[in-house]
Amino acid sequence: MAHLTVKTYPSEVLNKIAAPVKTFDDGLKTLAADMFETMYSESGIGLAAPQVDRSIRLVVLDLAAGTEEQGSHQLVLVNPEIIERRGDVVWEEGCLSLPGILGKVKRSRYVKVSATDLDGNPFEVEGEELLAVALQHETDHLDGILFVQRVSPLQRKFLIREYTRKQNEERYGSPDGPTF
């Protein structure tokens, strides 16, 4: 397994609609395994292929990531599609592509998703609360949508500004960017 590089905002691949997976081979299985390794090492619970610069409709999830049960609840969705939604919930979300930023997002409390596994076999998964939020968040990535696009324009402006400030501080030691 290999650790992949997580693309961060404003990387172009994060804004593209990902292509459907048509080939179910060992390469796809290897990519999914590498995505799990990357997700775990980055302390995430979900990762979409566009986040690792692969513009295909592939998602990995493990709500037990970071616990003793890590790896026992892995879920791989190829070409996922939300086919049913019910209720509302507001959840504070973060994203590996916007590290250090959290925002409250209104989502459906329950979703049903149709997908295929790594061998191309169709299945459905139902989720409530955190699983529903994670399924929606990762499916959004496949459609070129980041969670900050699901908040109010004012909150989005604040979150992007905060993200930029943190990135500048990390890169240059100053929230205002480089000094000359």
How many Cα atoms occupy the beta-carbon half-sphere of 153 within 13 Å?
0
Between CA 99 and CA 93 the distance in angstroms is 11
**Catalytic one among 42, 92, 138, 170?**
138
Instruction: Look at residues 143, 144, 78, 87 and name the one whose alpha carbon lies nearest to residue 111.
Output: 87
Say if residues 139 and 113 touch (Cβ distance below 8 Å): yes
Q: Is 11 exposed, middle or buried (0-12, 13-18, 19+ CB in 10 A)?
A: middle
Is 81 a known active-site residue?
A: no
β-partners of residue 144 are: none
Say if residues 89 and 120 touch (Cβ distance below 8 Å): no
Which sequence positions are flagged as catalytic? 138
